Chain A
Amino acid sequence: MPAVRLAGIEVSFGEGTTRFVAVSGVDLSVAAGEFVAIVGPTGCGKSTLLNVIGGLLNASAGAAFVEGQAVRGISKPCGYLFQADALMPWKTALANVAVALEITGIGRSEAERQARAFLARVGLARFGDRYPHQLSGGQKKRVALAQMLIRDPRILLMDEPFGPLDAQTRVLMGDLLLKLWQQDRKAVLFVTHDLDEAIALADRVVVMSAGPQSRIIAQHRVDLPRPREAAEIRLDPAFHVLQKAIWNDLRAEVMRAYGDEFAAIGGKP
């Protein structure tokens, strides 16, 4: 049984003449323990798919299944890492992580004990009493990662989680994610617009077309050895072969997403 299965998913917003179909006819299946990256041009509805799987958004057609169960309401087995800041600014880093356990009925002292251990795993043992505004962008993301992982979700949905970070921090965050993922191999759906990041992290890269009505146009298996080091793997010749192949699929869609905005500088769709 796949961890996640999408069958003919279509998502639309608005009605009548203003109806906008974000994604249409998406079939996708993610096996347990598989790391899948979704790449595509800006605004192609990558995040929309994650929201459907997480149960935050209803599909207008098709069906979504999480561990064989049709999605209805919030999908309990899923953890979600958002692109924007999602930490509660009025709670300290420790409280932000601990609350994920407290709401399941675990006592505060036990929740905080486990939260401390998780903060240590993401390298923030000394930062538990900081408020989010006192943390850097990368530190906030690591707190959010600990907050997501402490519940031990079996499926991880990640929506361009490292998008707002600078290039070096992204590579480090990718390594941290791989290290944590290597320990228990959860199913991961990782949305990104960064092709290198997708190849470095994933077992499979799914390419989506430009919106509206975006769909899956190609899938590439990434047969690079694991465990990987995000910074090292980029030097592997096989990495470049993949990069070239996927970029060939992606390039036309990226140009299409921007329309003729780049025509002036000689970019051809």
Chain B
Amino acid sequence: MKRSHLIFWQLLVAVAIFAIWHAVATWPILADPKKVQFFFSTPLAVMARVYEFFASGSIWRHLWITLSETLLAFVIGSLGGIAAGFWLARNPRVSAVLDPYVKMLNALPRVVLAPIFMLWFGLGIWSKVALGVTLVFFIVFFAVYQGVKEVSQTILANARMLGMNDRQLFRHVYWPSALSWMFSSLHASVGFALVGAVVGEYMGSAAGLGYVIHEAESTFDVTGVFAGMVVLSAFVIFIDWMVTLAENRLLAWRPQAGERAT
């Protein structure tokens, strides 16, 4: 499909959803429009509210807070995951001892940690960062662990025959291999950093997109909830797009799907 066609169809889906939503909320098709409006608001009211967010400028502060929490959670979680991944992959004995604990911590639903983090780090951004870190850490940890473990034995033997010492093996073989695995899970880890931030805000905060949605919800302001969700979705698409850009630069050496050797 040509790019212009693709965008046309993508926009058409959005228009169709809005049209159905508008119709159901205006005319008595499925139920009393008043009831529908109470539970689903109307697309025009939601658009108006989104416009108001940006026109008054009130949303920028919340976006900034959520973005900082996401980035901090991503950076701290990644650094921790990289360090732990390397350490355990290079020390099989330590890895074997810690294995059940790693599995246990990873299986734990992170939401239950939110109240404890509130207690430890307060209602500011750090409790949200901590929640994001617990999500990002394990994704990066497993990716790096895998990346170090799965270095091709031939590449390793070849590098050693070329005369690389341990430090050079790390720099030229283990590190790039681990990073490539980490980058391939970049979408997931950035996504989870954002989930951690928003869920944390939702549980208790004074700013951020999660806070905006939660505040609207607690006053039965359905329009506000939907407007918050629209802004959050746009924000997610924006972040995902940035990740794709970063990925294309960092993984240039990887074969693209469908690309053949010449």
5 pairs, A vs B, C-beta closer than 8 Å: A56-B157, A74-B163, A82-B158, A132-B253, A134-B255
Are A134 and B262 in contact, CB atoms less than 8 angstroms apart?
A: yes
| A88–B172 touching, CB < 8 Å | yes
Q: Which one of A21-29, A99-107, A170-178, A252-260 is at the interface?
A: A99-107
Size range of the chain B interface in the assembly: 20 to 34
- Within B169-196, the residues touching A (CB, 8 Å) are 172-173, 176-177, 180
Q: Are B253 and A80 touching (Cβ within 8 A)?
A: no
**Do B163 and A76 touch across chains, with their CB atoms under 8 A apart?**
yes
B162 partner residues in chain A, CB cutoff 8 A? 99-100, 103, 147-148, 151
Indicate if the CB atoms of B163 and A82 lie closer than 8 Å. Answer: no
Assuming the A-B contacts A103-B163, A135-B262, A151-B162, are A86 and B253 also in contact, with contact meaning beta carbons closer than 8 angstroms in the complex? no
Interface positions of A from 127 to 165, Cβ below 8 Å from B: 131-137, 144, 147-148, 151
Q: Is A223 an interface residue (CB 8 A)?
A: no
- CA gap between A136 and B262 in the complex, in Å: 6
Contacts of A250 in B (CB 8 A): none
Given A84-B154, A88-B155, A88-B176, also A74-B161 (CB < 8 A): yes
Are B252's CB and A131's CB within 8 A?
A: yes
C-alpha gap A54/B158 in the complex (Å) = 10
Bound together, the chains give a CA A65 to CA B158 distance in angstroms of: 20
The answer to whether B31 has its CB under 8 Å from any CB of chain A is no
CB distance from A224 to the nearest CB of B (A): 30
Report chain A residues within 8 Å CB of B103: none
A43 at the interface (CB under 8 A from B): no
Identify the B interface with A (CB < 8 A): 152, 154-155, 157-165, 168, 172-173, 176-177, 180, 252-255, 259, 261-262
Instruction: Give the contacting residue for A86; candidates B158, B172, B252, B259; CB below 8 A.
Output: B158
CB distance from A79 to the nearest CB of B (A): 7
Which of B160, B172, B180 sits near A56, CB closer than 8 Å? Answer: B160
A86 touches B157 (CB 8 A): yes
User: Is A91 close to B, CB under 8 A?
Assistant: yes
Closest residue on chain B to residue A74 by CB atoms: B160
- List the A residue with the shortest CB-CB distance to B151: A88
Structural contact, B161 and A56, CB atoms closer than 8 A: yes
Interface centre among A82, A87, A151 (most CB of B within 10 A): A82
Q: How far is the CA of A92 from the CA of B253 in the complex (A)?
A: 8
Q: Which residue of B lies closest to A79 (CB)?
A: B161
Q: Return B247 CB to nearest CB of chain A, in Å.
A: 14
For the complex, give the distance between the alpha carbons of A80 and B125 in Å. 55
Q: What is the CB-to-nearest-CB distance from A209 to chain B, in angstroms, rounded to a whole number?
A: 26
**Structural contact, B154 and A151, CB atoms closer than 8 A:** no
With both chains docked as a complex, state the minimum distance between the C-beta of A180 and any C-beta of chain B, in angstroms. 18
CB-CB under 8 A from A88, the residues of chain B are 155, 159, 172-173, 176
**Chain A residues within 8 Å of B176, by CB:** 88, 90-91
Minimum Cβ distance to chain A for residue B168 (Å): 5
Complex: how many Å from CA A229 to CA B159?
32
Whether the Cβ atoms of A82 and B253 lie closer than 8 Å is no
Give the chain B neighbours of A54 by CB distance below 8 A: 161
B166 to chain A, nearest CB (A): 12
CA distance A131 to B180 in the complex (A): 15
Interface centre among B172, B252, B255 (most CB of A within 10 A): B172
Q: Which of A80, A91, A104, A136 lies in contact with B161, CB distance below 8 A?
A: A80
Rounded to whole angstroms, the CA-CA distance of A100 and B160 in the bound complex is: 10
Cα separation A54 to B172 with both chains bound (whole Å): 21
- Determine the residue in chain B with the shortest Cβ distance to A86: B158
Question: When chains A and B are docked, how far (Å) is the Cα of A87 from the Cα of B261?
Answer: 15
A85 within 8 A of partner (CB)? yes
Q: Are B155 and A103 in contact (CB under 8 A)?
A: no
| CB proximity of B150 to chain A, nearest CB, Å | 13
Alpha-carbon gap, A78 to B157, bound state (A): 13
Q: Is A89 an interface residue (CB 8 A)?
A: yes
Asked if residues B172 and A99 are in contact (CB atoms below 8 Å), the reply is yes
* A133-B154 contact, Cβ under 8 Å, with A56-B161, A78-B161, A88-B173: no
Is A85 touching B168 in the complex (CB atoms < 8 A)?
Answer: no
Nearest B residue to A80 via CB reads B161
State whether A82 touches B157 (Cβ < 8 A): yes
A104 to chain B, nearest CB (A): 7
A85 and B152 CA atoms in complex are apart in Å by 9
A78 to B161, CA, bound (A): 8
- The 3 A-B residue pairs with the shortest CB-CB distance, nearest first, are A86-B158, A80-B161, A133-B255
Closest chain B residue, CB of each to CB of A99 = B172
